[in-house]
Structure formats: structure tokens, C-alpha cells
Amino acid sequence: MTGILYHGQPNGPSFTVLAAAFEKGVDLDLRAIDLVAGERHSTALPHPLEVDQSIEGEGPVLVVDGVAMTDSVFLACYLDELGSGPAIRPADPYARWQMMAWCRYVIERVAPAAAALGNAAAPPLGVPAGIASADLEGRWKNAVEGKADDSQLADSRTKIVQAVEKVEAQLADGRDWLMGDFTIADLESHAWLAGMRGIVPEAFASAPLTDAWGARLRARPAVARALGLATIAHPETIWAPGPEINRWG
Amino acid sequence: MTDVTLYHWEPNANSGKPMLALFEKGVAFDSHYLDLLNFDQHKPDYLAVNPLGTIPAMKHGDLVLTESTAIMEYVDEAFDGPRLMPADPVDQWRTRWWMKFMDQWLAPSFSMIGWSVFVGPSVRQKDPAELEAAIDRIPMPERRVAWRKAINGAFSPEEMAESQRRVGLGIGYLEEALGQRLWLASDSYGLADINGFNLAYAIPLSQPHLCNDELTPNIMRWLRAIYARPATRACWALGRTDLARRISLLESEPA
Ligand SMILES: N[C@@H](CCC(=O)N[C@@H](CS)C(=O)NCC(=O)O)C(=O)O
């Protein structure tokens, strides 16, 4: 049975999952929804716990045989198992650990910062009805009302600067991709950093390796196809509330 | 001597995840106990292993690994022994979903409560100058804030209430999931259960009004089943404090 992928503009988590599906040659029934209008919370989608309490916030939902799955990195792992295209995870256990630890860093430190900055730059117009998670609803309210905490925004900019430094350092040995071979880590890093060029330009001021890596990534046919699904000129400027900024430490 | 060294604190939370995974796989390892309450994790010897100054970390030969959940996946893949990641791709997805949900939503709320009632009070009586110096050595700015709040009893009522709200909801979600399946993410015991047990083994003691035989029979069944496993017994035997000893509450018979 063909899975159904509900996705937003090819930015953030929707970008990762669309590109991973194309890389792997997995045939999906693609259904574009407006994440910024809150369509993910409509009754047209299934609402099990894993959709309503996804840590990722407004990310894509993949429904296969009645199971609704969320969280882009894990959806990409699932597509890697399923599809026939070249692997997008290393086979060696240590290299795979490196990829998962890298993705965890992006998920936990970079994505919340990017989502906070993206929403502050382009706030959604209203809080959609039907949000099951009170903390996600709180992030929507803050985004709509432009109530971003200055110290959090400043720290988020620092997080983006650090992330680009980390990418630059990782590529310093001349490798093409973050883990050596092309992997989900490349997709997930680009997913959250692409939109930061306009918002935190200083992070990219002297990052030639990151620039070249981004260009290489966008030249991949599967990535180009994912970006080609955009219905606006600059999908990387479109944001809906994402993962929360770590409240513990 | 083995070629695996694990740097850990009590079998509890993040430390306990790779510990229990190693025991389940039957992998012998050198245990390197760090006393979190003595700030061992911020001392130069350990920062040479994990510059972030958080526990656990693992060495396998020359390789160094951090991030407890990612370490568990590595342990499962790199060593022989029973598979702890389910074979079905949807079950693998569910395993990872639950681990992330616990690592990034539920566990931090338990931590805030635990640090405010246990960790903070346990170190507070030390010499203030010594404590200040210890905090200055913490590499991550976020953690310096958390330690200061724990020591000064300065978690705000709002953030404590939010943590308690999440704990209450999270217990409900666990009960619901365990009502649908034998184990948390699939029909076989695996990484999500190991992760979840480290988070939840003491909830019947710390949140008795929310988690007990009457209200959450599936959580209780699950905790007792994990406690009955030889690997769990062997793992918790490495505990040195009352924190790990809380596990004995699972010796009780179902009400
Ligand atoms: N994401 C890391 C977090 C590790 C972590 O924060 N460990 C705690 C103990 S459970 C710690 O080291 N706390 C002491 C400190 O931060 O000083 C993992 O899962 O390994």
C-alpha cells in the first residue's frame, strides 16, 4: 500500500522527509498542507499520540497502513529501510552512531533555535483551532503575538553561528558530505540552516565550505525535486512553530 | 579487562540506559563510576573523554561515544547478543519516537523535580566558595543555570508546575501505550523499554498518587516484568546510593 505524506513547504522537517523519500525512490501519495495555517491539526489527518505530541512541532506526517508517523529524522530512517535507492545511513555501527548523535544535536539545539528565529521573523497570522498539546499551543500563541524572549533569541543566534562553525569544521578535511558519504545528517542540517542565511547572515559570512556543501546538496536530483514542490519563491522563509527551546539544560 | 569502558553514575536516567543495554547484550565492560554529586563529570580527567561534561560516555577500543540513546543503538548494532531494536521498520520508528519523547519532553520534567528535591539538597551544604568554583567549571552554559537553580532552590513555581503537568500527562501516555502492546514500542522487549525503565522505575514511589496498581496497572506490569530480568538485577547491583535502591519497590506484589 502507498503511504500518504502530509507535508508543508520544503523547509525544515518537511524538506528532510520529501528529499529522503525521493533519494530512496519511495513512492508516496504527497498531500501538501498549509502548516502555517494549522492544517496539521484539522480532522482530515489522524491524531494519535505520536502526531499530537510530536517533539518536532509542525512537521510532516506519514501514514502507512493506518499508522501515522512523525519526526523527520526517524521518518527518514524508516524510508531508508523501505526504499531501494542508495543507503542514506552509514552501515558501520560507529559511523551510524556519529550520524545519529549529529542529528540529535541538530534536533535538540539547532532546530529549536531556527524555529524561534524563523517564527519571530515571519509570525503566523493566528493560532489554529484543535491543537492537542498545550505546550505547542503556547508556542503558537507566543509566535502569533510576537512574544519572543530577547535572551532566547540572542541565544538562538549564537546556536546558529555555532552550528555553521560545526558544519565548517566537519567539512574541513575536504569531504563532500558531513559523515563522509551522503546521509540524513546532510538533509536535516540543511533543512534547518537554509532559512538562517537571511536571518543570521553573520553566521555565513565566512563559511565557504558550508556554501559549497549547500550548493552540492541542492544539485542532487532528489533534493532539487523536493525543493521543486515549493508553491512560493522562497520556501526557506516559511515557518510554523517547531520544537521548543530546551527548558531544562 | 575488556575493550569497553563505560563512564556512568547510578543506574538511573541517562547513565542507566547504556548500562542496561550492555547487560542485556551480555557485553562485559569496565565500569568507571563518576559521582555526579561530587561534580566528577566536570573534572579534567573526564572532560578529556567528554568535553561537554555530561554522563554517560563509552569507550570501545579507541572510539569514544556520548549521547545515551545513540550509544544504546550502537551497543545493539556493534555487539552480538539478543537484538534490542525490533526488526519491523514501523516498530523501529516507534522505538525512536518514544525514546525522543522521553529524552526531550518527559525526562527533563522528571529531572527538574529530581534536581529540586534530591540533587540540590544533597550538595547544598558544601562550602559556598567550593560550589561556586565547581559551577564555574561546567562547560555548558545551560547546565550552569540548572545547577545554580538546584543549589539555590530557585526553580520557579511556574516551571515546577509545568514539569508536574508533563509528568502527569506522560504517565497517562505510557499507561495508554502499554495498554495497547506488551512492550512500549513493539511486541518484543527492546531499547524503548530500557530507556523507559530508567525514566520510570521509581515513579510508583515518587508519584504514588499518579502511578499505582489501581490507576496504572499496565505501567506496573511493565516495570515488574523488566525488574524480573536478570540483566536488570545485575545492572542495579552497580548502584551505590539510595537513588538506585528505590528499585526494590518493584518487589511488591500486584495489589
Ligand atoms: N543527552 C545526553 C544528556 C546527558 C546528561 O545530561 N546526563 C546527566 C545525568 S543523567 C548529567 O550528566 N548531569 C550532570 C551535569 O550536567 O552536571 C545523554 O542522553 O547522554
Rounded (5°) CA angle A173-A174-A175: 100
| A69 in B contact zone (CB under 8 Å) | yes
B54 Cα: distance to centroid of ligand 1 (angstroms): 4
Q: Using 50, 70 and 90 to split pLDDT, how confident is the model at B255?
A: confident
Host H or E run for residue B255 = none
Q: Which of A64, A69, A248 sits opposite B146 (nearest CB)?
A: A248
Q: Write the residue with the smallest CA distance to atom 10 of ligand 1.
A: B14
Domain boundaries, chain A: 3-82, 93-220
List the single best residue of B59, B97, B165 to mutate versus A (max A Cβ within 10 A). B97
- Say yes or no to pLDDT of B1 above 80: no
What is the distance in angstroms between the Cα of A243 and the nearest Cα belonging to chain B? 10
Give pLDDT tens digits for A52-63: 999 999 999 999
- Ligand 1 pocket, CB under 6 A: B 13-15, 36, 41, 54-56, 67-69, 143
Share of chain B above pLDDT 70, in %: 100
Q: Using 50, 70 and 90 to split pLDDT, how confident is the model at B2?
A: confident
Q: Write the residue with the smallest CA distance to atom 11 of ligand 1.
A: B54
B56 Cα: distance to centroid of ligand 1 (angstroms): 7
Best CATH choice for the domain A93-220 from the list 1.20.1050.10, 2.60.40.10, 3.30.1300.30, 3.40.50.300: 1.20.1050.10
- Quick one: which of B96, B95, B82, B99 has its CA closest to B27? B82
Q: Which of A70, A82, A97 sits opposite B65 (nearest CB)?
A: A97
| A177 in B contact zone (CB under 8 Å) | no
Q: Do A55 and B69 touch (CB under 8 A)?
A: no
Instruction: Answer for the pair A167, A216: CB distance below 8 angstroms, yes or no.
Output: no
For chain B, the C-alpha Rg in angstroms (whole number) is 18
Q: Do A97 and B108 touch (CB under 8 A)?
A: no
Q: Do B74 and A74 touch (CB under 8 A)?
A: no
Q: Which of A50, A71, A101 sits opposite B66 (nearest CB)?
A: A101
Query: Residue A223 has what pLDDT?
Result: 98
The architecture in CATH of the region A3-82 reads 3-Layer(aba) Sandwich (3.40)
Q: Do B112 and A248 touch (CB under 8 A)?
A: yes
Mean of pLDDT over chain B: 97
- Say yes or no to pLDDT of B181 above 60: yes
Q: Find residue B235's DSSP bridge partners.
A: none
Give pLDDT tens digits for B86-143: 999 999 999 999 999 999 999 999 999 999 999 999 999 999 999 999 999 999 999 9
What is the distance in angstroms between the Cα of B188 and the nearest Cα belonging to chain A? 18
Q: Count CB neighbours of B202 within 10 A.
A: 21
A70 Cα: distance to centroid of ligand 1 (angstroms): 26
- Say yes or no to pLDDT of B41 above 80: yes
| Three-state secondary structure readout of A65-127 | CCEEECCHHHHHHHHHHHCCCCCCCCCCHHHHHHHHHHHHHHHHHHHHHHHHHHHHHCCCCCC
B55 Cα: distance to centroid of ligand 1 (angstroms): 5
Query: Residue A248 has what pLDDT?
Result: 86
Query: Residue B14 has what pLDDT?
Result: 98
| A93 in B contact zone (CB under 8 Å) | yes
Identify all chain A residues contacting B143, using CB atoms and an 8 Å cutoff: 249
Distance (Å, rounded) from C-alpha B8 to C-alpha B33? 5
Question: What number does the ligand 1 atom closest to the CA of B13 have?
Answer: 10
Distance (Å, rounded) from C-alpha A163 to C-alpha A214? 14
- CATH, range B89-236: 1.20.1050.10
Walk across the sheet containing B4-8 and list its strands: B30-33, B4-8, B57-60, B63-66
Q: Which amino acid is at B124?
A: R
Nearest CA in chain A to B92: A78
Q: Which of A81, A96, A135 sits opposite B92 (nearest CB)?
A: A81
Q: How do B57-60 and B4-8 pair as beta strands?
A: antiparallel
Q: Find residue A177's DSSP bridge partners.
A: A180
Average pLDDT score over residue span A134-156: 96
Distance (Å, rounded) from C-alpha A184 to C-alpha A89? 6
Q: Using 50, 70 and 90 to split pLDDT, how confident is the model at A1?
A: low
What is the distance in angstroms between the Cα of B64 and the nearest Cα belonging to chain A? 9
What is the distance in angstroms between the Cα of A54 and the nearest Cα belonging to chain B? 7
Distance (Å, rounded) from C-alpha A48 to C-alpha B189? 22
Q: Which residue has the cell 540524513?
A: A184
Residues 6+ apart with CB under 8 A from B71: A97, B17, B18, B21, B56, B58, B65
Q: Do B143 and A249 touch (CB under 8 A)?
A: yes
Identify all chain A residues contacting B165, using CB atoms and an 8 Å cutoff: 134
Share of chain B above pLDDT 90, in %: 98
**CB environment A107-139: b (16+ within 10 A), e (fewer):** bbbbbbbbbbbbbbeebbeebbeebebebbbbb
Average pLDDT score over residue span B145-158: 95
Residues 6+ apart with CB under 8 A from A211: A204
Domain boundaries, chain B: 4-78, 89-236
For residue B208, the SS3 value is coil
Question: What number does the ligand 1 atom closest to the CA of B66 have?
Answer: 20
The architecture in CATH of the region B4-78 reads 3-Layer(aba) Sandwich (3.40)
Q: Write the residue with the smallest CA distance to atom 13 of ligand 1.
A: B54
- Say yes or no to pLDDT of A249 above 90: no
Q: Using 50, 70 and 90 to split pLDDT, how confident is the model at B170?
A: very high
What is the distance in angstroms between the Cα of B38 and the nearest Cα belonging to chain A? 19
Identify all chain B residues contacting A100, using CB atoms and an 8 Å cutoff: 67, 70, 73
Q: Hey, CA dihedral for A57, A58, A64, A67, is it positive or negative?
A: positive
